[in-house]
Amino acid sequence: MSARSKVVVVGAGIAGLTVAGALASSADVTMIDRLPAAGGVLGYEHPAVRAEAAHARAGGVRSLLGTTALRWVDSRLLVAGPNGIEWLSVDRLVYAGGARPAVPSELRLLGPRVAGVVAATVAVHLAEAEVSMGRSVCLVGISDWAERAARIVRHQGARVTVVSTDEGRPPDYGDQWWMGWRAVAIEGTRRVSALIVARGDSHQRITCDTLILAGDSRPLRNVDGAIADAPGVEFAQRTEDRQSIEDVRRHSLEIAGRVRDQLAAS
């Protein structure tokens, strides 16, 4: 009997868990995640996460948690974690690293670099550590992150202004809305003092002391050699600002199917 193919899944959120569980019967699967717990943005207690984690575990998926994948070179993956820093030999890498909010240059957001301009991921993390994120917060984008960030900074007593190019109904977590407006520039010297928004030719200035970037999601990619399409790598990442767990699972199962076919063919 020939040795089973080795698959590493990077990312133990709902996408990575689903892929790992689906491949467990046809390959030797190791799942790694930067954090010391599975679950990703949903958290380990989420029922869907617990179900997929149980399925993966029952299938024999091995977990390396608290481990970061660093680079992918010729079917070898450099990882750093509790086992040290080591190269793993891997036949297929499935990257399921989730998403991140777009950064200022991706949003074509102009202006100086100042304090108080943060990704929603960072804002939530800091606010959970009881860092006060400001009294008047501008939130750019409508997304799952925007909702989490808005709820926690409002709990801190901030007034939240939501800016979105979306023309639709405003979300229920803002105090004020600029629907159909685009964030174009930051103002401030030490800290952000205002956001300039535009709609057609008209511009408006919204004063704020914190600007949270929460929209226009991008795939979070940080394994060198697997940033763009590369041999031996599949990406199980969807990047809508709001996505259902079912969509993510369906997409992950498609990727797992593709990998299974590739392994069978080789």
Partner 1 sequence: MTTSPGYQRFDVVVVGAGVIGTAIAARLSATSARVCLLEATDDVAEGASKGNAGITSSYYAAPGTLESDVIAASYLRWDDVCRRLDVPFRRIGAVMAALTKEEADGLPGELANAKACGVGASIVSGDQARRLEPLIGPDCIQGLVLPDEGIIDPMRLCVGFAELAAHNGVEVRFDSPVIDIESHDGRVAAVITPQARIETSFVVNAAGLFGDLIAELAGGSSFKMWPRKGEYWLIDREWGRTLRHIVFAAPLPDSKGIHVVPTTNGTALLGPSVMDSDQRYDKTTDSETLAYVTEKTRRLVPSVPMDRAIKAFAAIRPASEKKVRIEVDEVVPNLVHAINRSTGVSSSLGIADMVAELLAGAGLDLAPRADALDHIPTVRRLLLDPEPETLAALDPRYTQVVCACEDVSAAEIQAALEMAVPARSIDGVRKRTRATAGRCQGSVCMAGVTFMCSLAQGRAPGDVVVTASGTAGA
Cα–Cα distance for residue pair 212/124, rounded to 1 Å? 10
Q: Compare residues 5 and 121 and give the one whose CB is closer to partner 1.
A: 121
Q: Compare residues 13 and 101 and give the one whose CB is closer to partner 1.
A: 101
Q: Compare residues 220 and 253 and give the one whose CB is closer to partner 1.
A: 220
Strands 99-100 and 92-95: unpaired
Give me the least distance between CB of 200 and partner 1, in Å please: 16
Give me the least distance between CB of 21 and partner 1, in Å please: 24
Q: Is 36 left (phi over 0), alpha (psi -120 to 50) or beta?
A: alpha
Give me the least distance between CB of 71 and partner 1, in Å please: 8
Q: Compare residues 128 and 240 and give the one whose CB is closer to partner 1.
A: 128
Rounded-to-10 torsion of CA 137, 142, 146, 151: 80
Residue 106's CB is within 10 A of a number of other CB atoms, namely: 11
Residues lying near partner 1 in the complex (CB under 8 A): 34, 68, 70-71, 78, 80-82, 84-87, 100-101, 103-106, 108, 110-116, 118-119, 121-122, 125-126, 129-135, 185, 188-191, 209-210, 220-222, 224, 227-228
Cα–Cα distance for residue pair 7/22, rounded to 1 Å? 12
Please check whether residue 87 is in contact with residue 225, taking contact to mean a CB–CB distance below 8 angstroms.
Answer: no
Give me the least distance between CB of 248 and partner 1, in Å please: 19
